[in-house]
């Protein structure tokens, strides 16, 4: 049974970095405890906006980031760090160091790595629509699982219910649907905004998300 007290971290090896995949995975296995590997494919025409949403940035199609990463299948590797060392900011300095070393080895920005458990959970929700508890319920395996689905909520949400179902999986977050407009209470307001792809409205704490039936307004409030 997996020890759920240990923290999971995520490495993403983008398509253009996979020319060194064998050496990269060998080093990962030597330094970390691999829990799960997925080979993920996004539709080529969706890659740029998906990459932008994943990183929370506006990236035009054909931008340098997209050219750097490639638009083909990439590996997502979840692992435990036996030498975890959390600093005052909550980041794992072991992962930060490994990320720098791997990017140097790969010859560029061909790798993504989560710096802390909160980022790992956010990345996992984006990629699989699962939180870490759901992922940890799967049996550990070093054999890549083929996953041909895009980011959750892309290009828009099916409906409000789909969006709120995902948000309920976030830590330190409560969804109140008893009011006319749903209210999301969370410690991680920026994470929630990115996951929902929410656009700020002029009214205090109100945001707009896009669904197949048009835009929906909700409120997001930060808790202590």
> Per residue in 12-35, pLDDT tens?
999 999 999 999 999 999 999 999
Report helix, strand or coil for 9.
strand
The whole-number average pLDDT for the span 50-54 is: 91
Q: Report whether pLDDT(1) > 50.
A: no
Pick the CATH number of 8-147 from 1.20.1250.20, 3.30.70.141, 2.10.69.10, 1.10.10.10: 3.30.70.141
In this predicted structure, what is the pLDDT of residue 124? 98
Handedness of CA 74, 80, 83, 86 (dihedral sign): positive
Report residue 56's pLDDT band, with 50, 70 and 90 as the boundaries: confident
pTM passes above 0.85: yes
- What pLDDT is attached to residue 58? 65
Instruction: Identify the band that residue 64 occupies on the pLDDT scale cut at 50, 70 and 90.
Output: confident
Could you tell me which residues come within 8 angstroms of residue 11 by beta carbon, excluding any fewer than 6 positions away? 28, 75, 76, 77, 79, 102, 111, 112, 113
Q: What is the mean pLDDT of the chain?
A: 93
pLDDT value of residue 154: 93
Break the chain into its structural domains and give their ranges. Answer: 8-147, 160-222
The answer on pLDDT for 2 being more than 60 is no
Chain segment 73-125, per-residue pLDDT in tens: 999 999 999 999 999 999 999 999 999 999 999 998 899 999 999 999 999 99
Dump pLDDT digits (tens) for 122-180: 999 999 999 999 999 999 999 999 999 999 999 999 999 999 999 999 999 999 999 88
Neighbours of 190 (CB within 10 A): 12
């Amino acid at each position: 049974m997996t020890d759920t007290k240990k923290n999971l971290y995520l490495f993403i090896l983008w398509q253009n970095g996979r020319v060194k995949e064998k050496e990269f995975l060998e080093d990962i296995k030597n330094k970390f405890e691999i829990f799960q590997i997925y080979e993920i494919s996004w539709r080529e025409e969706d890659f740029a906006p998906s990459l932008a949403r994943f990183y929370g940035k506006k990236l035009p199609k054909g931008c340098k980031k997209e050219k750097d990463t490639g638009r083909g299948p990439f590996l997502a590797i979840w692992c435990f760090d036996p030498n975890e060392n959390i600093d005052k900011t909550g980041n794992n300095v072991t992962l930060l160091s490994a990320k720098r070393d791997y990017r140097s080895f790969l010859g560029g920005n061909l790798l993504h790595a989560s710096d802390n458990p909160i980022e790992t959970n956010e990345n996992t929700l984006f990629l699989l629509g699962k939180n870490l508890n759901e992922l940890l319920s799967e049996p550990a395996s070093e054999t890549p699982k083929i996953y041909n689905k895009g980011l959750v909520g892309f290009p828009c949400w099916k409906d409000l219910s789909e969006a709120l179902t995902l948000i309920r999986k976030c830590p330190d977050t409560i969804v109140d649907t008893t009011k006319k407009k749903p209210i999301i209470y969370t410690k991680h307001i920026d994470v929630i905004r990115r996951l929902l792809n929410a656009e700020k409205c002029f009214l205090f704490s109100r945001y707009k998300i896009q669904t197949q039936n048009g835009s929906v307004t909700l409120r997001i409030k930060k808790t202590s």
